[in-house]
Amino acid sequence: MALDLFGEVFAPDVAHQSQLPPAANKFHKGNGDDGKHYWLTPPELLARLAAEFGPFDFDPCPYPLPEGFDGLTCEWGRRNYVNPPFGSIIHQGKKKGPTAWVRKAIEEWRKGKTVVLVYPIDKWVLMLLGALLGDGAKVRNQGDVKWLATEDRSAGKGTGRHIACFILAAEDAKTSRVATAPLDVTVNSEQKQPLPLPPQGGDAS
């Protein structure tokens, strides 16, 4: 047993979810209370997004997954809704996480396609994005979405984190500086120069 700076007990030997093998990740093991897999988008959320950015004609992360289907390598549609796995997967022999899906989303967007991607992030990140980018930012806070169980489509309790909806609009693909920058660099808005990202430990981030 060990204590943190505030005198609270913590377990330093317990690996973070991103460090666990996919089969041991809570995304694949199921909810701790009932064992269900809360992966499916609520119809009302999908309808709301489709009304504004759709109609969607492709889902690169369908459930159930058709045999032989690979959303990370196939060609996407013109308007895509992406609800990627919230845990890591094994893809082509490598452990991959949300970075792989974002990289693919940007690749497809650069072809002139619309991509709407949802993913849980901390609320403070959304607050900062709103403050930095203003009302014109194509990032929406969807709140703590109550995803539906694959087993019986019952609503879960949510992830405890807010769901960000990132909109990569087809009409922006030709004008955005991000659309022409290498995928593994970030752009400094003041210097107008691409800056190398910190070294990455792989796609499972």
Residue 67 has a CB neighbour count (10 Å cut-off) of: 5
Interstrand relation of 114-121 and 79-82 (parallel, antiparallel or unpaired): parallel
Dihedral of the alpha carbons of 189, 194, 196, 200, in degrees to the nearest 10: 80
Q: What secondary structure letter does DSSP report for 63? A: S
pLDDT attached to residue 189 = 43
pLDDT attached to residue 134 = 67
pLDDT attached to residue 177 = 56
pLDDT attached to residue 53 = 93
Tens of pLDDT along the chain (205 residues) come to 455 455 555 454 545 455 555 555 656 666 767 778 888 999 999 999 999 998 999 999 999 989 999 999 999 999 999 999 887 777 888 888 888 999 999 999 999 999 999 999 888 888 888 787 765 668 888 999 999 999 999 999 888 889 999 998 888 887 765 555 565 544 444 444 444 444 444 444 3
pLDDT attached to residue 158 = 86
pLDDT attached to residue 59 = 97
pTM above 0.75, yes or no: no
Is residue 197 packed enough to be buried (19+ CB in 10 Å), middle (13-18) or exposed (0-12)? exposed
Supply angle C-alpha 99, 100, 105, rounded to 5. 95
Contacts of 9 (CB under 8 A, 6+ apart): 1, 2, 3
- Please confirm whether the linkage preceding 55 is cis (ω < 30° from 0): yes
* Contact indicator for 113, 78 with CB cutoff of 8 Å: yes
Please identify which residue in the block is written with the tokens 């045999």: 67
Strands across the sheet containing 114-121: 79-82, 114-121, 162-168, 139-141
pLDDT attached to residue 184 = 56
pLDDT attached to residue 80 = 97
- The two structure tokens encoding residue 13: 């030997």
